[in-house]
Amino acid sequence: MGPTMPSSENKEHVLTAGRNCWRLAKAQEASLLIDGAAYFKSFRQAAMQARRSLFIVGWDIDSRMELVRCDPRDELPVELGAFLHALVERNDELEIFILLWDYALLLGMDREWFPEFKIGDKAHARLHLRKDDHCPLGSSHHQKVVVIDDALAFVGGLDLSKDRWDRPGHHPDDPVRVNHEGQRYRPNHDVQVLVSGQAAHYMGELVRQRWRRAGGDGGRLPELGNQASSCWPEGVVADLRQVTVGFSRTMPAYGEQQEIREIEQFYLDAIAAARQSIYIENQYFTAPVIVDALVRRLAEPDGPEVVIVVPQQTDGWLSQLSMDLLRARAFRELRRVDHHSRLLICYPHRHGLEGENSVKVHAKLMVVDNRLLHVGSANLNNRSMGIDTECDVTIEARGDQEVEEVIGRFRQALLCEHLDVSREQLQEALASSSSLLAAIAQCNSGTWRLEEVTVEITKAEELWLENRNILDPERPIRTDRMLREVLPVPDSGVDLKVVLRLGSVLLFVVVAAGLWFLLPTEQYLESGKALALLDWVREQPVGPLVLMAIYVVASLLITPITLLISATILLYGPVLGAVYALTGSVLSAAVTYYAGVMVNKSTLQRFSGRYLDKVNRFLARKGIISTAVVRLFPLAPFTVINMLAGASHLRFGDYIFGTLLGMTPGILAIAGLLDRGAALFREPSISSLLLFGGLVALLVAGYRQMKKWLPDYQRAGERKND
């Protein structure tokens, strides 16, 4: 169910259980922790006092990360894994439960491998680690929650993982901002909220729901505590006591779980309720529903001021070519309607820190007036609004002046960090102007400041942004729906879907070829070092061997094989490129086949909807032709088919020859289309147009003929199996 329009009847109380939050609760104590150093130290202090249970729910974890960067003088390790092991060793009643997202292979190279051997049952009987894959294809578990004895809970944007620790100064040369390998990493800005009492009790309920839903042994879970124990971390001063908080979630529809979009609804309601100011910090900013809500407020003559703090750029060339471009379009739309000059979109600028070395704003927070403080795991993109699991916490003043003052001081603390000014300086600026934007401008003159984000989108990038539903989808991938779109269906007439699908492919080929030869492609690829890498590979004597290794690694990361084939042909030309593409495809097919042999077939079962069952029926015939048919008609991603073949124990020789037979026509077709498409752009002429059109017509006719033949082959195979 999508969001509903905000109500204008009661703007004093925004949090409403069942609408924009799961539960309302009283936090006996609450504290706001800015940046990783404060959070990790507080977590360590609190965990040392755990008596019965410690739950860690996260997107990632790394046993090698150091929680503190100085001698704690308590004889306990500073590395997370060793620290957790020491806790259960010294307390026979303590059970630790760690629930991680069973992450996509695409992210595997940046994570600790096999953490269960270091912080799971393999390391200690009372250290329980489970990987949670109970989510739709393409979704992730992004919640970041720690619960201790059901009496204390941390909620926010920080995982207990590497490259998160940092201090508020974010100094360029901080000698202790290094990972376990001694490598310096990008400054990181984030926020976590600490709550106790009933609020923590509810978080204890949430993490147990997650554990059971993931298939964890519910019988071993300790019963919910009575909130009587106290494990408040030493040295942390409670900012608030007996304050109302609300917990909001995002949960995609999956199995019996209905879709929950409480976080999205909260943002809409809070933005609509704002009177003076909206202050946002977020890693991403691409969700159209949030952009539209802010557009409406900025268009009002007496609407609130809006300050948005984001990173100068996100990590990695892929994110920069997707999320950064999408946010640029969003920012352009916001600035277009800012006729009353109430908008500031900026990033923290530090002298000596630029580009990928600039401060990484990883926080996910919003402060509305002095009435609402919202912190959590949810980014302002479509994924966090409806695809990934998220958990955010909101502190609402509800007319309590003390709470309003604390919320205001928290926003001031964030701005003081970004502007490198004292709280007194900022308060003086706020008092003299009564405007948040004016106060920021008054303090924004140092070498550490908030710099406005530039928005420049080229025509080529505009074309790329037409794929926004792929770059930032609004709903999880429905496997059955995806396969229904590509599974051939017998039809005596013209199949409009096939025509549209082939037309889309041809459009992609023509556009790719044209952009490659007519535009300065280097400037788009340089950010990710992709072009330099490809040029280096092409120039090396061992380039083909490196290319084969790239194919193998990319297939393990479930990279689309068509993308690899197209890049290879563009790099080496139609003849040599086709040979290398076919060789790399067969080699990667062999490697992922054996990966499927080693993987339990039940692990692959969650990808097997009723259409993938047809893939299994083809593979079950264990023949060369059956494999070739599956290659000609890609009923599932390349890597998934390979692993299913291995798990089904298809004869390896038949599988390889079938792959060779089935992939050759497609690779030759791509080579021909790219070559003729490029020629058409380089030297437009009637002959080149006719040649390209003839090739297209030939491919369409061949595809349609094979499509008509496929049902007969399938029925014949089924009769044979009967």
Judge whether 327 and 310 are in contact, CB under 8 Å. Answer: yes
Is residue 488's pLDDT more than 60? no
- How much of the chain exceeds pLDDT 90, in percent? 46
Q: What pLDDT is attached to residue 555? A: 74
Q: What pLDDT is attached to residue 663? A: 83
Helix axes 423-433, 401-419, angle to 10 degrees: 110
Q: Kindly report the three-state secondary structure assignment for every residue of 274-309.
A: CCCEEEEECCCECCHHHHHHHHHHHHCCCCCEEEEE
In sequence order, what are the residues at sequence separation of 6 or more whose Cβ sits closer than 8 angstroms to the Cβ of residue 221?
A: 97, 208, 211, 212
Count of CB atoms situated within 10 Å of the CB of 513: 22
Which range has the top average pLDDT, 250-254, 353-357, 671-675?
250-254
Q: What pLDDT is attached to residue 331? A: 95
Give CA–CA dist 212/629, Å, rounded.
41
Q: What pLDDT is attached to residue 265? A: 98
Lowest mean pLDDT among 175-189, 196-210, 531-545: 531-545
Lowest mean pLDDT among 89-103, 184-198, 539-553: 539-553
- pLDDT tens digits, 149-169: 999 999 999 999 999 999 998
Is residue 483's pLDDT more than 80? no
Give CA–CA dist 54/88, Å, rounded.
10
Tell me the CB-side half-sphere exposure of residue 152, using CA atoms within 13 A.
Answer: 25
**What's the rounded mean pLDDT across residues 179-204?**
94
Judge whether 344 and 307 are in contact, CB under 8 Å. Answer: yes
Q: What pLDDT is attached to residue 150? A: 95
**What's the rounded mean pLDDT across residues 295-314?**
96
In this structure, what token pair is assigned to residue 304? Answer: 């609130």
Q: Which domains does the chain have, with CATH numbers?
A: 34-227 (3.30.870.10), 244-452 (3.30.870.10), 478-721 (no CATH)
Q: What pLDDT is attached to residue 29? A: 96
The larger pLDDT score, comparing residue 167 to residue 501, is at 167
**What's the rounded mean pLDDT across residues 94-114?**
74
The pLDDT mean for the chain works out to 81
Judge whether 191 and 375 are in contact, CB under 8 Å. Answer: yes
* Residue 721 pLDDT class (50, 70, 90 cuts): very low
Q: What pLDDT is attached to residue 35? A: 96
User: Long-range contacts made by residues 166-169, C-beta under 8 angstroms, separation at least 24?
Assistant: 166/35, 166/36, 166/37, 167/35, 167/37, 168/34, 168/35, 168/37, 168/417, 169/417
Task: Give whole-number Cα distances, 399 to 151, 412, 440, in Å.
Answer: 27, 20, 26
Q: What pLDDT is attached to residue 220? A: 78
Reduced to 3 states, what is the DSSP secondary structure of residue 719?
A: helix
| Identity of the amino acid at 248 | S
Which range has the top average pLDDT, 65-79, 258-272, 426-440?
258-272
Q: What pLDDT is attached to residue 537? A: 62
Helix axes 574-598, 638-647, angle to 10 degrees: 40
CA-atom Rg of the chain in angstroms: 28
Lowest mean pLDDT among 287-291, 337-341, 441-445, 564-568: 564-568
In this structure, what token pair is assigned to residue 608? Answer: 């097997």
Lowest mean pLDDT among 216-230, 350-364, 645-659: 216-230
Q: How far apart are the first and last CA of the chain?
A: 44
The larger pLDDT score, comparing residue 69 to residue 496, is at 69
Q: What pLDDT is attached to residue 647? A: 72
The larger pLDDT score, comparing residue 485 to residue 695, is at 695
Q: What pLDDT is attached to residue 549? A: 84
| Identity of the amino acid at 146 | V
Is residue 465 classed exposed, middle or buried when 0-12, 13-18 and 19+ CB atoms within 10 A define those classes? Answer: middle
* Residue 486 pLDDT class (50, 70, 90 cuts): very low
The larger pLDDT score, comparing residue 367 to residue 671, is at 367
Q: What pLDDT is attached to residue 523? A: 41
Q: What pLDDT is attached to residue 117? A: 66
Lowest mean pLDDT among 127-136, 321-330, 696-705: 696-705
Lowest mean pLDDT among 59-73, 414-428, 447-461, 602-616: 602-616
Which range has the top average pLDDT, 390-399, 518-527, 613-622, 684-693?
390-399
Q: What pLDDT is attached to residue 689? A: 63
* Residue 430 pLDDT class (50, 70, 90 cuts): very high
Is residue 480's pLDDT more than 80? no
Q: What pLDDT is attached to residue 157? A: 96
Strands (E) across 91-214 are located at 95-101, 127-132, 145-148, 152-156, 188-189, 191-197
Q: What pLDDT is attached to residue 594? A: 81
- pLDDT tens digits, 326-336: 999 999 999 99
Judge whether 389 and 141 are in contact, CB under 8 Å. Answer: yes
- pLDDT tens digits, 262-294: 999 999 999 999 999 999 999 999 999 999 999
